[in-house]
Amino acid sequence: MILGPSPCNACTGTTSSHDPQCPWIADQTPPQRSSGGCGCILLSIAAAVALLGAIGTAAKNFLTGQPIRADVAITMEELPGVWQGDYLCQGVQRAMTLTVRRGAGGSTRVTADFAFYRGQYLSGQPLGISRQQGRYTDGTLTLRPVSWKKRATGFRMVGLDAKPVRERHLVMRGHVQDCGRFTVLKRRATGQ
């Protein structure tokens, strides 16, 4: 149903100048209306329902302590895999991949390879790759460098802190130590 003004004089309460596209027959007496106009009551009801729905959702989130945003922290089972995106450091945007693996024993421990590229696109071989260790607890991923897997001349190893969440895709936003922000999306495994 589309709510809005009627295209004819039936809503005006007059009978002069009948519009040929009007759904009312020319001889038909137009419906009586209040001064609010055609559809006003329906529009008011629709607006009230929408407002109550929004208030209800916000109240539920407030009462349960859940964030109002739609993004949700991912589970430990969703974390392992290849994440691709970019980061910003000293005004230079570079492509990156973060290959995350679950630690031994089903704990909160993780290991990762942080690969970074010369430019802002994933092309060619990575400029450098550092091995990382860390934890995923309370929706926060904390990684610290351990060693070089592929040393990049003129660069030093840095750690990462991030919040992996489920939006339309699995996304991780965070901060590269001593640099700036990064954003990566989880690449789907082959066959999904």
pLDDT along the chain (192 residues), means of 10: 42 50 49 49 54 49 50 90 95 96 85 95 94 95 97 95 94 96 89 52
Q: Say what the pTM is.
A: 0.62
pLDDT for the residue 46: 54
What is the structure's pLDDT at 7? Answer: 43
Segment holding 63, helix H or strand E = helix 40-64
Closest CA to 115 of 128, 132, 104: 128
Measured between alpha carbons, how far is residue 67 from residues 59, 72, 159 in Å?
11, 9, 27
The pLDDT assigned to 107 comes to: 84
Give the residue among 85, 83, 79, 86 at the shortest CA–CA distance from 101. 79
DSSP-assigned beta bridge partners for residue 132? 112, 145
115: how many CB neighbours lie within 10 A of its CB?
22
Which CATH number applies to 72-186? 2.40.128.620
pLDDT of res. 159: 96
Whether the Cβ atoms of residue 108 and residue 137 lie closer than 8 Å to each other: yes
> Is residue 161 a contact partner of residue 179, using CB atoms and an 8 Å limit?
no
> For the chain, which residues make up each domain, given as ranges?
9-64, 72-186
pLDDT of residue 19: 53
